[in-house]
Structure 1
Amino acid sequence: MRVAIVHYWLVSMRGGEKVVEALCDMYPEADIFTLVCDYDKLSDKLRRHRIFTSFLQRIPGARRRYQSLLPLMPFALEGFDLSGYDLILSSESGPAKGIIPPPQAVHVCYCHSPMRYIWDHYHLYRRNAGFLARMMMPVVAPLLRAWDANSSLRVDRFVANSHHVASRIAKYYRRSSVVVHPPVAIDDFAPAQSVDDFYLCAGQIVPYKRIDLAVRTFTGLGRNLVVVGDGDPHEVAALKRIAGPTIRFVGPASFAQLTDYLAHCRALIFPGEEDFGIVPVEAMASGRPVIAFGRGGALDTVVPGRTGLLFKEQTEQSLADAIELFETMEHRFSADLIQSHAAQFSVANFKAGMKRVIDQALAERHTVVDVKPFATTLPSVFEDLKHAPLH
């Protein structure tokens, strides 16, 4: 069986790329198709596969400015020739499912998220875009939405990474999906012997993650907050301007540094609405509770009162109330219980879940519908007409 894995772009090794790695474990001979690729950023596991890129790869600066090429992505995806492949696994977020599958192939789409910037986060992205992008988005976005919804019909089976994403697939594509949580390398994390006096906020610094909410709240409370991650320099500078003396920005961290911060923090603060959110699972694998905004993927991962707390509104008061409640019950949280809860999001469970979906999709491909050929039904139609009354 020839297998193709289609991923939107390969320019870093984050959560989406970890999904591709797990799929490569399942199908070691698979070929990878992607819009643009920065080979220097890839893991050795991905480099062992044949990687095909689109014509976007040849545009100067594409590996850094790939998101600005969004209007060209449908043309690039449809330019991939997937003839001869039996199974196509698309890893969809921005976009990937828009390839044209051959008739005999089964197309299973693992959806991290329908494209946020043309659907539910459209207005947020437009507000934070540059002048030219703000002017172009109302012209380009409706065309991309039509193409995105239409290309969902090319998928035989959708898999969502959370129930939140499953609901958005149903809303925007009118398709059902199976939830298989993404793989998290939980064995790479472990609880520490002691906890330090700081809370942690970790991840890419972009507006929708609402790190500004955490910075304002912890400045007002006078509690220690460590912010790990990097992003747009203007966004980082704006956060530093509103931060008080208890806020510490450490920038991007190595994996070893991140695991240390996760293991020693009092709790992870997760103020944004994420499709799934791998960092909260990593924190729980480190035995630490999570205080998260109670929407999105956090509803799949955080169990209130056992592995953390959820706050209802993205306001300073709501987050501050959750922090103060947490501090009254902090002693009740068990690192062992939290760590055991995180085990369900393992790489092995992801592979098992995907195997069930793929096997079922492949089995359905061989189901033959008993329909009489047109050539055999046409004579019977004329025979019926011959004996029909003429009135």
Structure 2
Amino acid sequence: MTVQMSDSVAAHPAAVPRVAIIHYWLVTMRGGERVLERICELYPDADIFTHVVDHDALSQVLKRHRIFTTSIAKLPGARKHYQKYLALMPRALEELDLSAYDLVISCEAGPAKGVITRPDAVHVTYCHSPMRYIWDQYHAYVGAGGRGAKLFLSKVAPRLRIWDHASASRPDLIMANSHFVRRRIRKFWGREATVVYPPVDVEQFHQSDAVSDEFIWVGQLVPYKRPDIAVDAFTRSGRKLHVIGDGSMLADLKKRGGPNIRFTTRMKFDQLREAYATARALVFTAEEDFGIIPVESQAAGRPVLVYGRGGGTETVVDGVTGLYIPEQTAEAVMETLDRFDIWLPGFDPAAAILQAQNFTRARFVEGFSAAVKVATRRVFGDGAGSNAAD
């Protein structure tokens, strides 16, 4: 492990910083786990702690690390039904003995930041989102989940909110993955956060001259992402739409979609890259915390029609690399499509590709490393040494 150490630490070469990374759960490889990969590359000797893990679902980058689970993993059916044990996760985190670690990095979207560290350890949190199902999306989750979800969350959420707010005081510094999330951290946790955008592998995408007349929608087919308004708008307008993704809404969307809508549930990465590059545009209807998909589309030189709230407004430049959809309705999507037809001749693919460069791996590493240095100074003071620095 390569570590840049202060003079006081260098005087004691035997002092080797130990790093622990806390991740809420490891059961798939999505955006949060891709960020975890980059953090693991920064700290290749770090140990990972998580509530539950499915080793078969992990990348080789993550498998190279020692992975420890909390007491949640010992509960019946936890690997598949871990969310049912949400109320027990705060205690499970606090039971972890992290006294051997100099730097603790918690990755928060589910409970992770509530661990207890040594007073002289540095603790930073990278927050993808405060738990949406107990805060701003509480009523949406209750409504979509039926009576069982309403009963469960109504009992669990009040106590979990108290713990979530209280445990937000434990990290020395919090990073947010967007200004949108930063505002939610301030509102729900009462903490200020440093914005460090997540890394996107923009160099893996390419521009194509063979652009089709078909739009694409990419993502999980779940209610909060609102694929329904895209399907309804395109069905009514007659324009072609390729929906790429799978999820609980797939069957219903196929029923309501017209003959101009086609669906693909799974794609290899090379196929997805080609879909981005040859699409007329990406339609992105979700209010996301950040949203990697619009960045990938721009990296391929294509414009984005994005809902004008949330992280999408930080990655897409309205009128330059795409257009904002003013409301989450089929009518608003249709109106934006009409504006898009007029706007498209002036679109410059080079502007989209340049915009995507703001979200590279290098930018993430630079921002993350700088934040850890700031946290170290807060713990030890200016000029003080720490074997957790860098």
TM-score, normalised by the number of residues in structure 1? 0.91
Give the greater-gyration-radius structure (CA).
Answer: 1
Whether the aligned pair in 1 keeps the contact of 2:172 and 2:379 (CA below 8 Å) is no
1:103 and 2:122 aligned: no
Whether the aligned pair in 1 keeps the contact of 2:323 and 2:340 (CA below 8 Å) is yes
1:219 and 2:235 aligned: yes
* 2:8 corresponds to: none
* 2:9 corresponds to: none
- Residue among 268, 276, 287 paired with 1:262: 276
Letter of the 1:123 partner, please give it.
H
Deviation at 1:64, TM superposition (A): 2.1
Deviation at 1:229, TM superposition (A): 0.7
Map 1:11-26; keep pairs closer than 5 Å: 11-26=27-42
* 2:336 corresponds to: 322
Percent of aligned pairs with the same residue? Answer: 50
**Matched residues in 2 for 1:66 and 1:194: separation?**
45
* 1:45 corresponds to: 61
Q: Secondary structure at the match of 1:32?
A: strand
TM-score, normalised by the number of residues in structure 2? 0.92
1:227-261 residue CA offsets vs partner (Å, 9 max, x unmatched): 111112xx211211211111111112221221111
1:285 and 2:299 aligned: yes
1:345 and 2:331 aligned: no
* 1:309 corresponds to: 323
**Matched residues in 2 for 1:138 and 1:12: separation?**
27
1:69-90 residue CA offsets vs partner (Å, 9 max, x unmatched): 2112112211211112111111
Task: Report which stretch shifted further, 146-155 or 57-66.
Answer: 57-66
* 1:176 corresponds to: 192
1:250-276 residue CA offsets vs partner (Å, 9 max, x unmatched): 112221221111111111101110000
Q: Secondary structure at the match of 2:125?
A: strand
Map 1:1-391; keep pairs closer than 5 Å: 1-232=17-248, 235-367=249-381
Whether the aligned pair in 1 keeps the contact of 2:141 and 2:149 (CA below 8 Å) is no
Letter of the 1:164 partner, please give it.
F
Task: Report which stretch shifted further, 127-136 or 57-66.
Answer: 57-66
Deviation at 1:147, TM superposition (A): 0.7
* 1:386 corresponds to: none
**Matched residues in 2 for 1:350 and 1:273: separation?**
22
Name the count of aligned residue pairs. Answer: 366
Letter of the 1:362 partner, please give it.
T
Gapped regions of structure 2 (runs ≥ 5): 1-16, 383-390
**Matched residues in 1 for 2:163 and 2:261: separation?**
44
Deviation at 1:106, TM superposition (A): 1.1
Letter of the 1:270 partner, please give it.
F
**Matched residues in 2 for 1:32 and 1:122: separation?**
29
Deviation at 1:91, TM superposition (A): 0.7
**Matched residues in 2 for 1:130 and 1:117: separation?**
14
**Matched residues in 1 for 2:367 and 2:63: separation?**
25
**Matched residues in 2 for 1:199 and 1:37: separation?**
36
Q: Secondary structure at the match of 2:133?
A: helix
**Matched residues in 2 for 1:108 and 1:323: separation?**
42
Letter of the 2:262 partner, please give it.
R
Deviation at 1:363, TM superposition (A): 2.0
**Matched residues in 1 for 2:207 and 2:155: separation?**
50
**Matched residues in 2 for 1:31 and 1:139: separation?**
34
Deviation at 1:331, TM superposition (A): 1.8
Task: Report which stretch shifted further, 10-19 or 251-260.
Answer: 251-260
Task: Report which stretch shifted further, 108-117 or 358-367.
Answer: 358-367
Gapped regions of structure 1 (runs ≥ 5): 369-391
Letter of the 1:121 partner, please give it.
Q
- By relative contact order (CA 8 Å, sep 6+), the higher-ranking structure is 2
1:334-386 residue CA offsets vs partner (Å, 9 max, x unmatched): 11221111011001100000011101111222128xxxxxxxxxxxxxxxxxx
Letter of the 1:320 partner, please give it.
M
**Matched residues in 2 for 1:19 and 1:95: separation?**
17
Q: Secondary structure at the match of 2:198?
A: coil
Q: Secondary structure at the match of 1:154?
A: coil
Task: Report which stretch shifted further, 251-260 or 16-25.
Answer: 251-260
Whether the aligned pair in 1 keeps the contact of 2:93 and 2:112 (CA below 8 Å) is yes
Deviating beyond 6 angstroms after TM superposition, the runs of 4 or more aligned structure 1 residues are none
